[in-house]
Structure 1
Amino acid sequence: MATAEREKEFYDQYWERVQPYDVTGEIHVPTVSSNFSGKRALMCSCGSGGDAVRAAKQGAETHAFDISETAIRNALSFAEFNGVTVHAKVMDFHNLEYPDNYFDLIYGTAILHHIDCSVAGKEIYRVLKPGGVAYFKENSDRNPILRFLRRMFFGKPGGYQKQKFLFFKRTGTTDEYPLTEEEVSTLRDIFKGNLVLYNEQFYFFALLNFLVFKSAKLAKFFTGVDNLTVGLFPFLRKYSFTQEVFMKKK
């Protein structure tokens, strides 16, 4: 089975669990006003449909796509439930069916590490208007400790990813691997150097709770340890397991 087919099968099942609810909160993008009125936005790999609804509530003409038919049903049902309009369709990130220079804003969560950035990155650039912004919330392979453990326990980039090693259990597909520095470099080249990495939070010790203890009671404690650590040693922020990728088309 090809990678795209495995991803589709996984997420068709995964997103079946989601039921529509009243979506609250806003999408925040550096340098971009939270009022999206007059903007055309694209939500990549829309999943539950929540972010597409947020963009629409913030005033954007909102489009969304996903490789999963279930995710598209979610996006449409969430939009109807919340009283907004979202134009959603099944689509492959590597072959977007939108015109050139079409979107003011492109947004996604935990999707870049699933795709071939050398191909999809060019599609992002193509459909983004000059002056437009693309912003993705991602994981990261930059931390040398996490990188070593990940590759030892679960597998290397581009290879089969084990689901479990001893008492460590990961979530996600058998193909996904955290976004690498090489992939970020590829995107930076496509955007002619106009790429900035952010770390909105330091996520390291809390990851231990997520992978091992899985305790809601301990979550606050480990988050506190993360906050204390980065407060004492700010230079460690870039080694968070999470990162945000900001790209602008000049």
Structure 2
Amino acid sequence: MKPDIKTSEANFHDSLISQKARRERDFYTYESMQDIIKTQNEFLGDIKGKKVLDYGCGTGWLTIELLSKGAVVSSIDISPKSIEETIKKVNDFNFQNHSAHIMDCEDLKFPDESFDVICGNGILHHLNLDYALNEINRVLKKGGHAVFYEPLGKNPAVNLYRLLTPNSRTKNEHPLGKKDLIKITQTFSDYSFYYFGLFDCFSKIFCVLNLKKTQHALSRFLKKLDRKILGGETKKISFINTLSWIAVMKLVK
């Protein structure tokens, strides 16, 4: 990623912290994300006492989750204000075993095989995937695993939402496609995917329209339909799977 792009990314995410929240983030409410977060936690497994990297930590909520599970956590982000917010959260909860660093995810300053687990949410699609995967693989211990959830780029409802909210993201974001998922699998010895939001993401449009009761009712039905079609944990990267909103992935070195 070019220096001017890195600066743009850092400034954009600094501005989000300054604004506290954006209205469109209703699209990413806990209710809409709880199944995704549950799957992420299952993929993480028991991390008590393990060295974990929060890769692109944002405002630090994942860092808090990891620390609450007993992990020794290092948090990194290119945004100085994100790191400030993360440190504040950690101090508010009085957690120990934590360090935070302003750092480029494509150029990690950690020695080889530093971490048992690497975890990130919606970060890979901001990065040069080749550089990012090389660095993740380098600092991950042999037999260790990485867990990410990332947006995919083919769902028409999500793309409509992106069209309606152009100021909610940087110009450099690139939701992942089939070729990206294949590239990810080729970097690691083993992998698993769990896909979400093939149809359920259509209900999220009602968040933008501020019709939350309608969204919640529709979402319950569409989530069940998604599971019937998408199934559960899989190694498949099919056309139908890539039409999903989000892929949760576990990658084993």
TM-score range, shorter chain: 0.7 to 0.9
Tell me which residue corresponds to 1:178.
Answer: 175
Displacement of 1:88 in angstroms is: 0.4
Displacement of 1:222 in angstroms is: 2.9
Tell me which residue corresponds to 2:85.
Answer: 74
From 24, 37, 47, give the equivalent of 2:58.
47
- Give the letter for the 2:206 counterpart: N
Answering whether residue 18 of structure 2 is matched by residue 7 of structure 1, we say no
- Give the letter for the 1:222 counterpart: L
- CA distance in 2 between counterparts of 1:247 and 1:138 reads 13
- CA distance in 1 between counterparts of 2:131 and 2:228 reads 40
Tell me which residue corresponds to 2:245.
Answer: 241
Q: Is the 8 A contact 1:201 1:237 kept in 2?
A: no
Tell me which residue corresponds to 1:137.
Answer: 149
- Give the letter for the 1:28 counterpart: N
1:25-36 equivalences in 2 (<5 Å): 28-30=41-43, 32-33=45-46, 36=47
Gap change, CA 1:230 and 1:125, over 3 Å in 2: same
- CA distance in 2 between counterparts of 1:48 and 1:125 reads 24
- Give the letter for the 2:13 counterpart: Y
Displacement of 1:215 in angstroms is: 2.9
> What's the RMSD between the two structures over aligned residues?
2.7
Gap change, CA 1:208 and 1:178, over 3 Å in 2: same
- CA distance in 1 between counterparts of 2:210 and 2:109 reads 40
Tell me which residue corresponds to 2:188.
Answer: 191
The normalised TM-score by structure 1 is 0.79
- Give the letter for the 2:223 counterpart: N
- Give the letter for the 1:219 counterpart: Q
Q: Is the 8 A contact 1:52 1:62 kept in 2?
A: yes
Structure 1: runs of 5+ lacking an equivalent: 20-24, 155-162
Tell me which residue corresponds to 1:64.
Answer: 75
From 98, 119, 124, give the equivalent of 1:107.
119
Q: What fraction of aligned residue pairs are identical, expressed as a percent?
A: 24
Displacement of 1:204 in angstroms is: 2.4
What does the per-residue CA deviation read over 1:38-63, in whole Å, with 9 as the maximum and x for residues that have no partner? 20000011111111111112111110
Gap change, CA 1:231 and 1:248, over 3 Å in 2: closer
- CA distance in 2 between counterparts of 1:142 and 1:29 reads 26
Tell me which residue corresponds to 1:207.
Answer: 204
Tell me which residue corresponds to 1:119.
Answer: 131
What does the per-residue CA deviation read over 1:176-209, in whole Å, with 9 as the maximum and x for residues that have no partner? 12112222222212214x2221125654222322
Displacement of 1:169 in angstroms is: 2.4
Gap change, CA 1:53 and 1:188, over 3 Å in 2: same
Q: Is the 8 A contact 2:204 2:215 kept in 1?
A: no
Structure 2: runs of 5+ lacking an equivalent: 22-36, 232-239
The normalised TM-score by structure 2 is 0.79
- CA distance in 2 between counterparts of 1:140 and 1:206 reads 17
Would you say how many aligned residue pairs link Structure 1 and Structure 2? 224
Displacement of 1:247 in angstroms is: 0.3
Gap change, CA 1:28 and 1:205, over 3 Å in 2: same
